[in-house]
Amino acid sequence: MRRGEGQGSHTPRNTGSGSGFARKLAAMRESCQTFAPMNVVFVLLFVIALIAAALKGDVKTVGQGALDGAGSAVTLAIGLIGVMSLWLGLLKIAERAGLVEKLSRAALATRADCARRLFHQVLVTKSETSATPEGDA
């Protein structure tokens, strides 16, 4: 069986182009197709807003609001990308140092103790309920 063929293979075969650019482009197209229903929702929202603005006579206001919203979204995205890059970098350093594994072991060790402390009343009530026979209640 050749590479790219077989059951469950979703990666396109390299058809002679020497670079992996064609494969990456095909993978991006495939991933974009999975979000098509969400794209339809956003397009419908935009079209409905334009129709409502046209009926009301405020197309310029709606257009200006859309541009202002897009500018705010870009500013927010750039800020979030910076914060995300920082934390992903710190996590990668911690992962290479073995800190992530140590933290996960510590979290697993204390999970039961934390649950016991947080939900003490629930556990006590449940144990009292299960200790009494059903006919006595």
Of 33, 62, 68, 64, the C-alpha closest to 48 is: 62
Name the CA dihedral angle for 26, 27, 30, 35, rounded to a multiple of 10 degrees.
Answer: -130
Looking at per-residue confidence, does 2 or 56 come out higher? 56
Per-residue tokens: 118: 């947080």
Query: Identity (one letter) of the amino acid at 71?
Result: G
Give the pLDDT band (50/70/90) at residue 130.
Answer: low
Residue 120 lies in a domain: yes
Residue 125 lies in a domain: yes
Residue 108 lies in a domain: yes
- Name the domain count of the chain: 1
- Cβ contact 63:72 at 8 Å: no
The tens digit of pLDDT for each residue in 29-71 reads 776 665 667 778 888 888 888 888 888 888 888 778 888 988 9
| Domain that residue 124 falls in | 98-137
